[in-house]
Chain A
Amino acid sequence: MSKKVTDADLEQTINEYSDTLFKICFLILKDENDVKDVLQETFIKYMTKAPDFKSEEHKKAWLIKVSQNKCREFLRFHKRHAAVPLDEVEESISVTNGMDTYSIEMLSLIWNLKYKLKSVVILYYIEGYSIKEISQIMEISESAVKKRLERARKELRMLTNVEGELVYERT
Chain B
Amino acid sequence: MREHDIDRNLVSNIEMSDEMRESLIQDVKSGKRSKDKRFRYSTALTALCVAGVLIVSGGSASAAYLSYKNRVENMPQEEQQEYAEELENDVYNAGDEALSRSLTQAEKLRYVELQDAYYKDGVFPEENMAFLDTLSELTPDMLAYVEEDNKIHLPEGEMSDEQILQYIDHEAKYMHTIEENAEEASTAEAEEIDEQTKELEEQFDIITLEVSAEDEEHFKQQTKELIYEIFGEEVDDSWNYDVYEMDWSGMEGFDESWDGYEVTWCESDAPNAKTYQITIPKSSDGLFSINVCGMEVFAECEDFSWEDAQAYLPQGEETVKKFVKEKFGLGEPDRVEYYEAENVDGESIDCSWITYDLYYGENNVTVSWLISTDEVSSVTGKNLIKVD
Contacts and interface: CB of A to CB of B under 8 A. Distances in A.
A36 B6 contact: no
Given A36-B20, A41-B39, A74-B36, A69 B344 contact: yes
B11 interface: yes
A-B pairs, 5 with minimum CB distance: A37-B34, A125-B6, A22-B16, A43-B28, A40-B34
A116 interface: yes
Interface residues of B, number: 47
A44 B253 contact: no
Contact of A23 (B4, B14, B203, B253): B14
Given A14-B21, A40-B28, A78-B196, A166 B11 contact: no
B325 interface: no
Interface string A71-86: 0011111111011000
Main secondary structure of the interface of A (DSSP, over half): helix
Given A10-B25, A93-B14, A126-B11, A115 B39 contact: no
B203 A144 contact: no
Contacts of A96: 13
21 contacts: A10-B29, A18-B21, A22-B16, A23-B15, A36-B23, A36-B24, A37-B35, A44-B92, A65-B345, A76-B200, A79-B200, A79-B203, A83-B199, A95-B13, A97-B13, A99-B10, A107-B10, A107-B11, A110-B10, A114-B203, A121-B6
Interface residues of A, number: 69
B337 interface: no
B24 A77 contact: no
Interface string A1-34: 0000001001100110011001100110000100
A130 B245 CA distance: 37
Contacts of B6: 106, 110, 121, 125-126, 166
Interface of A: 7, 10-11, 14-15, 18-19, 22-23, 26-27, 32, 35-41, 43-44, 47-49, 51, 62, 65-66, 69-70, 73-80, 82-83, 93-99, 103, 106-107, 110, 114-116, 121, 125-126, 128, 136, 139, 143-144, 147-148, 151, 153, 158, 160, 166
B29 A18 contact: no
A82 B203 contact: yes
Contacts of B232: none
